[in-house]
Structure 1
Amino acid sequence: MGTTNQKAFRIRILQALRDLGGTGSKQQTLQRIEDLYGHELTDEDWLPCRTRPEPLWHNRAAWERSDMVRDGLLDARSPRNMWALTEAGYSAVTAD
């Protein structure tokens, strides 16, 4: 079955942050994603990451967050471990 594609986390991050009022800690955001989509994650997604003490899907979501900052959907100026939607991010999540 494999792991969930990194790009699949984009809409999940957008929706989780929308639900959190537009901003949340990394942990709050990942917990909201798990609450909403945990049942869709594969067994492989839950395996531990080789470089960090967290499930693989946390690492994939964090890499997607980095791409979303580059694409202007999340605020690059947010404090460490805080994820926040930009206006473009709000527009992207409400367009869905």
Structure 2
Amino acid sequence: MVGRASARHFSFGGRAEVRNVREALFPNIKHMLTEGDYEPVSTGEERWWNATCWERSELVKEGLLRDDSPRGFWELSEKGISFAQEEIRK
């Protein structure tokens, strides 16, 4: 799933506003979500989105997303761009 999400992110030019990431991701994963995934967590966000944001942190640690993007933007790193290009070729 990360590969497809990265490839989609790449289609934004490697950088996208968080709201655009959410809008692009949701239709691709909604068939996998359960009722519980729509429940709000302590921040008020739906559980699935909160988990997605935690996954973003992991992608930053793995070097696939940049850690210095402006607030409100998710941006592929050079490593992330290479990964997305490989996924597109598959």
How high is the TM-score relative to the length of structure 2? 0.82
User: What percentage of aligned pairs have identical amino acids?
Assistant: 31
- Given candidates 20, 32, 35, the residue that maps to 1:28 is 20
Task: Check 1:38–1:93 CA distance in 2 against 1; reply closer, same or farther (3 A cut).
Answer: same
Q: How large is the Cα RMSD of the aligned pairs?
A: 1.7
Gaps of 5+ in 1: 1-7
Residues 12 and 33, structure 1, Cα contact 8 Å, conserved in 2: no
Partner of 1:72: 63
Task: Check 1:12–1:45 CA distance in 2 against 1; reply closer, same or farther (3 A cut).
Answer: farther
1:82 aligns with 2:73: yes
TM superposition shift of 1:94: 2.4
1:40 aligns with 2:32: yes
How high is the TM-score relative to the length of structure 1? 0.78
Gaps of 5+ in 2: none
1:95 aligns with 2:86: yes
Task: Check 1:19–1:45 CA distance in 2 against 1; reply closer, same or farther (3 A cut).
Answer: farther
